[in-house]
Structure 1
Amino acid sequence: MLGPSGRPGVFMTRDGDARPSPDSVDCCVVGAGPVGLAFALEAAEAGQSVLVLEAGSEASGRKVAPGRPDSADIILNPDRHAPTAQVVRQGLGGTSALWGGRCVAFEPIDFVQREYVPHSGWPITINDVRPWEAAAADYLDCGEAQFHSDVDQPSGSRDFSMAHLERWSRQPKLQGRLGSRVMNHPRITVLFQAVVVDIDFGTGGEVRHLVIQGGGRTQTIRATNYVLAMGGLETTRLLLKVQRSHPTWFGGVGGPLGRYYMGHAKGRVADVVFSAPGRAEQFDFYRDADGTYVRRRITLSETAQQREKMLNTSFHIDNPPFYQVEHRNATLSLVYLGLAIAPIGRLLLAEGIRLRHIGTGPRRIGAHIVNFLRSPLTAASDVIDVIRHRYLSVVRKPGFVLRNEARRYALRYHAEQIPNPDSRLSLDRGSRLSIDYRYTEQDIESVLRCHQLLDDWLRSAGIGYLDYFAASEDEVRDAIWEQANDGFHSIGTTRMSAEPSDGVVDADLQVHGSSNLYVASSSVFRTAGEANPTFLATCLAVRLAHHLARKNAPSRVGTAPNASEC
């Protein structure tokens, strides 16, 4: 691999040492976020030599690589999609620096063809994923891969379950634990300031080399196999650039590449009022046997989804919004005041999460100070306890829910979107993404109907009831539309498919038409489910590592644990 002068290119490692890039490796993975790091470590443990290319200019990811488009991307409807600067992070650990650490498993229904969900149906099933969940849980540091509890279900309707669990990474910023494991592995080399600017294909579709820039140099990288794990936006950006030179690739111009862009519908349109004071404890964070924080979700059953033709949806309880002074809670107002001071708030939370908690204004600082003065000692004690468990503990507590005598709690929903080909990413004349992210009436109506079913279920089971903020059904629907915003979960733009006309990668994440190019990202998902995408994307990356190890050296690696079909 020669630089522009004909001499070997040299890039900087994390420790600042100059290191020549290797001549050839088994696997080259582009991206050092959670998915890329998990793939690299699993592939290396399976006997492969691995080169990790990271565009960030240092291990912390605080510096941006030269040529990065950043905020120049065009968001056609800013009310629907977060700024890209809030959802993309370069450097070792990638977007885990912005991530809350929530790990949720997909369910069997998420993979099947549903006649009421257009463009659904994966070429794999849940059985192709389950064998790799334990490894993914280890890499994401969320304890055991146990996502169902033995909680007793209330008698009566089975439309909802209280048994599904979300698990939380002990320390969600993965640079320290997972990043260190990758950096110190003898079969892995990590190169920073390595921005992939082109992919060179042979006549048969195989990748001959990657062209990278960084540190003032241009050079080529050769490997047996190449894995793009740059996150949904950046992976799609690169493939769209390549498609300009190869207009028939990836399903052709106007084909599936960049389309079916999904995230989730999420927000709050009602409070839940419990019938008994202790009921909220069932839905609060608790630590399981291995010390990991978990929380129960109220989820819509598969039977109810199919009967009502509804999208997968989950609920969890929360505090009232910090910015609403009407809660009159001294602790919540003190937290709000801290987050509203931008330098302090950004130390405590990722910017997107901080902005959601402080709202859009007016700030009403004086009213929050009055709330705080109602019970300053209690508020100070609560905040100290939160800081101790959330920021100073080895196992990070994801959040806190304050008990109240009214037994009233915010109810937050997290709902699936349908795959919509008109929701898409495209390129302008340069390398800027044009983001046309859309919700549909079906997305919104499903959320509305799910609340109605949940209220019926809560009442019939004697658990409680919903208290809506709006007086009419139309106003609730309007509120769901108003809160429809994502961009943090980049799903669907390089979707998996059995046929090249319907997607970008096959069931093994191999790009259709290429013998050695793969994508490991939530962008390969065909449907979004109700779950956050990081855990499944990591499972698929681990599965891919074993697939490539068998492909490259069948004698080195065994079969999938507890699964003959993987």
Structure 2
Amino acid sequence: MYIRDNTSFQIQSPSEPKTLIVGAGFCGLAIAQALADIDGLIVVDAGSAFAEPAKWDKCAGTEPLIGEKYRARGFGGTVALWGGYVAWPEQDDIDCKKTDGSNIWPVRYSELSSWRRKAEAALGLSETADAEGIAKACGIANAIKDCGLSPRLWRFVQTSAPKRPSKSVPIFLNTVLQELIFSSDDKQVVGASIRCSEGQRHEFPIRRVILAAGGLENARILLSADQENRKRFSSWLGRGFMEHIVQEVTGLVVPNESWMGKIHKRINQNDCGEKALALALPRALREKEKLPHAILHPFYHSANGAMSLGLMAEQRPRTSNRISLINKMNDDGIPRLSISWAISPVDREYMSRSLMFFEQSLLCAGAVNRAAGKWASLCDHAFSPPWCGHHMGTTRMGSSKSNSVTNSDGQVHGVSNLFVSGSSVFPTGGWANPTLLLLALALRQASFIRNEENVGRMPPVSLLNPVR
């Protein structure tokens, strides 16, 4: 790929329909690498050659900082800022059911698992690691089992420098998608209009569009494309916005000699990055008690070395948690977002019940002590927001337009050549940080598009420069 810090937009054969990828974050770059040999492929991103936090994008709503922190535009996107933890979901995070017994996710865990290794390789993780094996290596597998709990594994991507691939796909930076142009029957995108940094607008024909601009931005683009209320898209567009909820645990003390002190110490192995463990309730208990997938982990260490615990849980999708457009523009001419997000009383109740089961298990095993005169409880930490910056669900996937925005391939219902990629398509959050799963879905989507084009086997994708 070659990168242009764009003041003038020049593409080869401008009259020929293009495959347009919107977003040069890790998701968009992975798709671009996988489709590099498709004719007429271009990538645009509103940011520069260096990812920058989203302070430029002032959001309105109940929790405006949720749209400004842990989000970036520019080459490499958010991952280029933080590197960060990656994790793989459990089977029941994907193969979960509605109350009527039907599947929530339109794709099965077994199929997604076949894309896991490719996603790990794209992030430079040279092997698949499992939580049980790491717990054994730490010498705490039996202790976790004796508590009736299960280990969960985070891995850490150690670099923030995305690779600049060599294949000749143009990436136009400082270039904003201004408009998608639809056919008269709204069943296809036929054109796109973009604006360069100096204000020039360019319009060109479209073969297909892949939105890979982030959990909030994907929905904003589609909402902007339907301001005339033509009902092109599902009523779920922008709704079902989810975060991972984070709360500090008070009332429990971790003794200095407890094995709990080992669960979050990173284990550095040069060939596969750093790893850290967390604890989860067993699946049978969660299903019986209808609990969300929550994990217990060390929150921070105080100056005297005492460990504080935290609980991170998935959030149930609710239509009232949503993003919408307001009648104000950002400097780049894009409508601003209003974000309505809250932790519901039901979310809090489920987290409190999860904590109760954790407390019982760990107290019985002597892994923690109860603080004098206190019971375990949850509260917002003074220095951290109650969310992780994992923006999910605003263009959720599902079986039909009545319950989702896209299908299992990220294809927008009713618009044959419009695709969405990223955590915005997640219909549920599960326990895991979303990066690894969204990359697996992106590579799976790229394979679907290659099959449409009939261009053969997909090449391997590598997104990171090697760590030295």
Fold-level match, TM-score > 0.5? Answer: yes
Counterpart among 239, 242, 245 of residue 262 in structure 1: 242
Counterpart among 418, 433, 456 of residue 556 in structure 1: 456
* Secondary structure in structure 2 of the residue aligned to 1:86: coil
CA positional deviation for 1:267: 2.5
Q: Where do residues 23-422 of structure 1 align in structure 2 (5 Å cutoff)?
A: 23=14, 24=16, 27-44=19-36, 50-56=41-47, 58-62=48-52, 70-71=57-58, 73-75=59-61, 77-78=62-63, 82-115=65-98, 121-150=104-133, 151=136, 152-154=141-143, 159-162=148-151, 164-171=152-159, 173=160, 176-178=161-163, 180-181=164-165, 184-186=166-168, 188-204=169-185, 205-214=187-196, 215-251=198-234, 255-270=235-250, 271-274=252-255, 276=257, 279-288=260-269, 290-320=271-301, 327-329=302-304, 404=305, 408-422=306-320
Aligned partners of 2:35, 2:388: CA distance in 1, in Å? 29
The answer to whether the 8 A contact 2:22-2:213 is kept is yes
Residue deviations 1:446-477 (CA, integer Å, cap 9, x gap):
21112211122123334x1254699357xx35
* Secondary structure in structure 2 of the residue aligned to 1:20: coil
Aligned partners of 1:328, 1:559: CA distance in 2, in Å? 49
Amino acid of the structure 2 residue aligned with 1:438: A
Q: What is residue 352 of structure 1 aligned with on the other side?
A: none
Counterpart among 384, 400, 411 of residue 510 in structure 1: 411
What is the aligned-residue identity percentage? 26
The answer to whether the 8 A contact 1:89-1:95 is kept is yes
Aligned partners of 2:29, 2:226: CA distance in 1, in Å? 27
Amino acid of the structure 2 residue aligned with 1:220: E
TM-score when scaled to structure 1? 0.71
TM-score when scaled to structure 2? 0.85
Q: What is residue 332 of structure 2 aligned with on the other side?
A: none
Amino acid of the structure 1 residue aligned with 2:448: H
Q: What is residue 465 of structure 1 aligned with on the other side?
A: 368
Amino acid of the structure 2 residue aligned with 1:232: G
Aligned partners of 1:417, 1:117: CA distance in 2, in Å? 20
CA positional deviation for 1:208: 0.7
The answer to whether the 8 A contact 2:51-2:81 is kept is no
The answer to whether the 8 A contact 1:155-1:461 is kept is no
Counterpart among 13, 16, 21 of residue 11 in structure 2: 21
Aligned partners of 1:220, 1:304: CA distance in 2, in Å? 55
CA distance 1:449–1:483, change in 2 (3 Å): farther
Residue deviations 1:366-413 (CA, integer Å, cap 9, x gap):
xxxxxxxxxxxxxxxxxxxxxxxxxxxxxxxxxxxxxx4xxx411122
Aligned partners of 2:147, 2:459: CA distance in 1, in Å? 38
The answer to whether the 8 A contact 2:80-2:162 is kept is no
Task: Give the structure with the higher percent helix.
Answer: 1
CA positional deviation for 1:480: 8.5
Residue deviations 1:470-523 (CA, integer Å, cap 9, x gap):
9357xx356589977337111111000101011100011000011110000111
Unaligned runs of 5+ in 1: 1-11, 321-326, 330-403, 561-566
CA distance 1:155–1:479, change in 2 (3 Å): closer
Aligned partners of 1:48, 1:129: CA distance in 2, in Å? 28
| Structure exhibiting the larger radius of gyration computed from Cα positions | 1
The answer to whether the 8 A contact 2:76-2:162 is kept is no
CA positional deviation for 1:53: 0.6
- The total of aligned residue pairs comes to 442
The answer to whether the 8 A contact 1:120-1:526 is kept is no
Q: CA RMSD in A?
A: 3.1
The answer to whether the 8 A contact 2:6-2:172 is kept is no
**Residue 434 (str. 1) matches residue 416 (str. 2):** no
Residue deviations 1:513-550 (CA, integer Å, cap 9, x gap):
11110000111100011111111111111111111001
The answer to whether the 8 A contact 1:142-1:170 is kept is no
Aligned partners of 1:480, 1:144: CA distance in 2, in Å? 35
Residue deviations 1:54-99 (CA, integer Å, cap 9, x gap):
111x2014599xxx9711x212x23xx5253323311101112443
Unaligned runs of 5+ in 2: 329-334, 461-468
* Secondary structure in structure 2 of the residue aligned to 1:434: strand
Aligned partners of 2:369, 2:20: CA distance in 1, in Å? 51
CA positional deviation for 1:276: 3.2
Aligned partners of 2:211, 2:253: CA distance in 1, in Å? 43
